[in-house]
Structure 1
């Protein structure tokens, strides 16, 4: 089996393989954590989970006209993607005003829903939804070279985890299929849960938002160790890299022809001394079955 087949023979590829080959730690210490949005799958023009939430908001606004003048239902109902995307960008630059509004909407959108029904809704979404500009199913919007990196690390004794700001229960139903990562290895944000009448259901508040300085505590609470390899793409991943005990990899979106080119939300990360993966220069292909 050829590993890293979609990676060009560049200094970045050499840095990864040299680091892995240099390790003398026992297998149980080989842990790698990956961000998800913009690291394992495409996050532009809007994050995939945001598309899922927008559909829920739009359904609610359709049923309740009173919601149509309130954010985030207003943005979903009028398809104001600029407001929604800017809320995410502002978060990465330290302003959570609009993200807080969005989070409150998510809390209200899924209050009382069982975890099983939520997982079924996520599965239906991925069976039906397509990327708004790439015009392909979201299942094909994962990064082929990153899938290869996961397999390469696993072949070298690594346990691979997702550590994302995305909703943990949004990623769990598809993590095995998309990435080969089992649901118990998914760390992410979560709405609070409670037990009611034989079911686990969502409460009306976010329990934790797994981004920025929250990532290291969440990683430690699940793993009890520092990751040896940390992979991300934004300012929100800087604390995860700082907490890591080895190689930090930063995916740079610099290929407008095959994907998207943007530094917004990654300015602080790009200014740090991480090993940068250039989509344009380091990958021969971006998505499965593409060039």
Structure 2
């Protein structure tokens, strides 16, 4: 039985299967408890264009802001006019090392959940996934997931790997969908997080008024170690912000890091290198295996 039916035969698929077979048995086998694999989410497990899914959720929230003072500043001003260019540039500037605008956007993210209970937020996010379609694919977000990557997650799990999602996105935004979409339980989701408080009057955990940590770049390996306590042997990502995580497994005798290259604009995906230029340019020197969406994936998206 083919475990990776959406992966085309070739060097990339062979590298994956050879690695998994080697660490699962024989002289290079590693103990099951050390078979840890980490995956970025946006652009790695599902599409992040024309905007990351959480950003789509947030712009709907920001567009409803009624405070005139907020409406006159970013990102509310751009959202209310339907011009999302500012947000896109903020992300591109972040990947280029400039977080000036990203800090403004993060402040708006924190403001949107301040005082909200984690249960109410989870219900709001789940409702978004049920009711809102992807902006350009015009299908539920459950069908904006990359089928080859879901197959890879299942293939790894079948060979004793513990798979984790490690994303710059909000941890609690991903938790409601990590298991039904990817088969990854919520306790294995590592992401950015707003600070939390306990409300003794209602026995609720609520979001605070400041960011606790932003899980991107060098923070990713730190958060992996904090949460997992093991160095992964496999990592997958798609951007410059994933590079530290992709390099983290390299101390193992056998390791594999996959860099997803979005070079296919013909099958519903968006072709782009923006935000991944450094990762792509140094992939050979870093020992990364580049996954071409165009050449390595026979089918791009899952279907219901």
TM-score range (shorter-chain normalised) is over 0.9
Aligned to 2:271: 261
Aligned to 2:87: 84
Unaligned runs of 5+ in 1: none
Aligned to 2:194: 191
Aligned to 1:144: 147
Partner of 1:212, secondary structure, is: coil
Aligned to 1:126: 129
Aligned to 2:235: 230
Unaligned runs of 5+ in 2: 24-28
Aligned to 2:301: 287
Q: Which of 256, 262, 275 is residue 289 of structure 2 equivalent to?
A: 275
2:173 counterpart of 1:159:
no
Q: Which of 160, 170, 174 is residue 171 of structure 1 equivalent to?
A: 174
- Take 1:237 and 1:134, find their aligned partners in 2: how far apart are those partners? 25
Quote how far apart the aligned CAs of 1:241 are. Answer: 1.2
2:100 counterpart of 1:97:
yes
2:285 counterpart of 1:251:
no
Show CA shifts across 1:231-284 (max 9, x none): 000000000011114111000000011111100100111122310000000011
Quote how far apart the aligned CAs of 1:2 are. Answer: 2.9
- Take 1:260 and 1:20, find their aligned partners in 2: how far apart are those partners? 29
Runs of 4+ in structure 1 deviating by more than 4 angstroms, as ranges, are: none
- Take 1:78 and 1:226, find their aligned partners in 2: how far apart are those partners? 45
Aligned to 2:18: 18
Aligned to 2:6: 6
Aligned to 1:41: 46
Partner of 1:154, secondary structure, is: helix
TM-score, with normalisation over the residues of structure 2?
0.93
TM-score, with normalisation over the residues of structure 1?
0.97
Question: Alignment length, in residue pairs?
Answer: 288
Quote how far apart the aligned CAs of 1:176 are. Answer: 0.5
- Take 2:303 and 2:108, find their aligned partners in 1: how far apart are those partners? 37
Show CA shifts across 1:157-211 (max 9, x none): 1000000000000000111111010000000000000001211000011100000
State the Cα RMSD in Å. 1.1
